[in-house]
Amino acid sequence: MPKVGLIGYFNSGAYSDDLIEYVTKSLLLEQRPDLAFDSNLMFSPRASDPAYLNSFDLLVHCGGSLLGKCTHPPVRDIARWAGKVKTPLAVFGIGYRYEPDKEPLAPEMRERVRLLFEKAGMVSVRGKYTVQHLKENGLDISKISSLADPVMACDIPLDMNPINIVGNVRDMPQVEVQHISTERVHSLLAECYDWLIEKYELPLLLVSWRTNLNTDNDASGAYKVTKLMRNKGSMSVIAPPNYYVAAKSVGHARFYFGQRLHPTILAAARGVPFVGLEYQFDKMLDWASTVGIDNVIDTRDATLDSFIEAHGRAEVNTVRLREALPAKVAEIKATAKMIVELI
């Protein structure tokens, strides 16, 4: 039974990362059902030990932001083990963590990415922004074989009523707040949430996608937004027990307004009209660049008016995405096939 080591922020309280883990496993198992997985590689005390890495049949650096994972083992220490590890490596659906207001990549970070791409037998990235930013930093993009986020191919089935805490979630507008949002973003979200409540004449459902047991979670962010709203009693905040329940709820929304990339991709792929709010590192804009949609607004300059304009484009973009989705899903599955063929 081949053993696959997944490099990612899994089992840390962030459901969007757990969703990436689920999707990655599902796609690879579809191609080869006999695979076994270790999803705790990044947090293992032996994560950068060449002997330990050689015990795997395949390493997959999957989902999320490329540079975020470059600050943790094993990628942080890749210069120490790259020449000693024979296990094949794939980079799957990764995004480049880019901040346009800052300097280009620090030399040590550029070297880590260079070594990662040099070691990888196959590279898949999220979007055109990632390719552009890698190229601007003088990195080799010749191994990039696909532009797609794996969550677009998520196969989690819909239930009629996945969350019973607030009753039936069907046909309620859903929203989601990033726990690290600024005061300006909280004010913007409060305006947008009030507008949605009055537009649909329905309460909002805010589903928390980060529920680790401390104050740094999405529910705390939702509380800060609620204090600024006119319609304080018209939003329910729920914390699902796991990513699977959270994911099932998304497909039942009448409309979805999200900050987190992967719940928003999931809603879009399920045919739910949506507006995405880019909050950090151009992740949402990077994904949107691959499918030709323009209903993502940016926290750097977004206003209530720009949100309303994007809401007006939501239906058209839903149709556009529906037309692009089959080809993207086929591209993702072809990439998964290439990954397992590295074994």
Q: What would the pLDDT profile of 246-257 be if each residue is shown by its tens digit?
A: 888 888 889 999
Residue 165 lies in a domain: no
Same domain, yes or no: 145 and 207: no
Q: Alpha-carbon distance 294 to 98, whole Å?
A: 20
Q: Alpha-carbon distance 219 to 239, whole Å?
A: 7
Model's pTM, two decimal places? Answer: 0.93
pLDDT of residue 99: 60
What's the average model confidence in pLDDT over 216-221? 72
Q: Alpha-carbon distance 270 to 177, whole Å?
A: 20
Residue 126 lies in a domain: yes
Residue 161 lies in a domain: no
What's the start-to-end Cα distance of the chain, in Å?
11
Strand partners, 256: 174, 274
Same domain, yes or no: 48 and 64: yes
Domain encompassing residue 184 = 174-325
Determine how β-strand 3-7 pairs with β-strand 174-175. unpaired
- Is residue 216 within 8 A of residue 224, CB to CB? The reply is no
CATH number of the domain that residue 75 is part of = 3.40.50
The string of pLDDT tens digits covering residues 61-82 is 998 788 878 888 999 999 999 9
Is residue 206 pLDDT above 90, yes or no? no
Q: How confident is the model at residue 101 (pLDDT cuts 50, 70, 90)?
A: low
Q: Of 253, 285, 246, 245, nearest to 272 (Cα)?
A: 253
What's the average model confidence in pLDDT over 249-273? 91
Residue 86 lies in a domain: yes
Residues of the chain with pLDDT > 70, as a percent, come to 91
Is residue 214 pLDDT above 60, yes or no? no
What's the average model confidence in pLDDT over 271-293? 88
Same domain, yes or no: 336 and 292: no
Residue 123 lies in a domain: yes
What's the average model confidence in pLDDT over 283-298? 90
Same domain, yes or no: 138 and 244: no
Is residue 179 pLDDT above 70, yes or no? no
Single-letter residue type at 102: K
Helix (H, G, I), strand (E, B) or coil at 53: helix
Classify residue 151 by its DSSP letter: G
Same domain, yes or no: 126 and 182: no
Q: Order of strands across the sheet with 296-298?
A: 235-238, 204-207, 174-175, 256-258, 274-278, 296-298
Classify residue 65 by its DSSP letter: B
For residue 38, give the H/E element and its range: strand 36-38
Same domain, yes or no: 286 and 228: yes
**The pair of three-digit structure tokens given for residue 184, joined into one six-digit string:** 């300006």
Residue 301 lies in a domain: yes
Placement of tokens 């607030």 in the chain: 166
Same domain, yes or no: 240 and 306: yes
Same domain, yes or no: 145 and 260: no
Classify residue 98 by its DSSP letter: -
Q: What is the number of domains present in the chain?
A: 2
What's the average model confidence in pLDDT over 104-125? 89
pLDDT of residue 165: 45
pLDDT of residue 24: 97
Same domain, yes or no: 216 and 74: no
Residue 163 lies in a domain: no
- Is residue 141 within 8 A of residue 113, CB to CB? The reply is no
With vertex at residue 269, the alpha carbon angle to CA 288 and CA 38, rounded to the nearest 5 degrees, is 95
Residue 137 lies in a domain: yes
Q: At what angle do helices 261-269 and 283-291 cross, to 10 degrees?
A: 30
Q: What is the average pLDDT score of the chain?
A: 88
Same domain, yes or no: 231 and 257: yes
Q: How many CB atoms sit inside 10 A of residue 182's CB?
A: 11
Same domain, yes or no: 84 and 218: no
Same domain, yes or no: 120 and 184: no
- Is residue 42 within 8 A of residue 69, CB to CB? The reply is yes
For residue 107, give the H/E element and its range: helix 107-119
Helix (H, G, I), strand (E, B) or coil at 236: strand
- Is residue 334 within 8 A of residue 31, CB to CB? The reply is no
CATH number of the domain that residue 233 is part of = 3.40.50.2000
Strand partners, 144: 123
Residues of the chain with pLDDT > 90, as a percent, come to 52
Is residue 277 pLDDT above 60, yes or no? yes
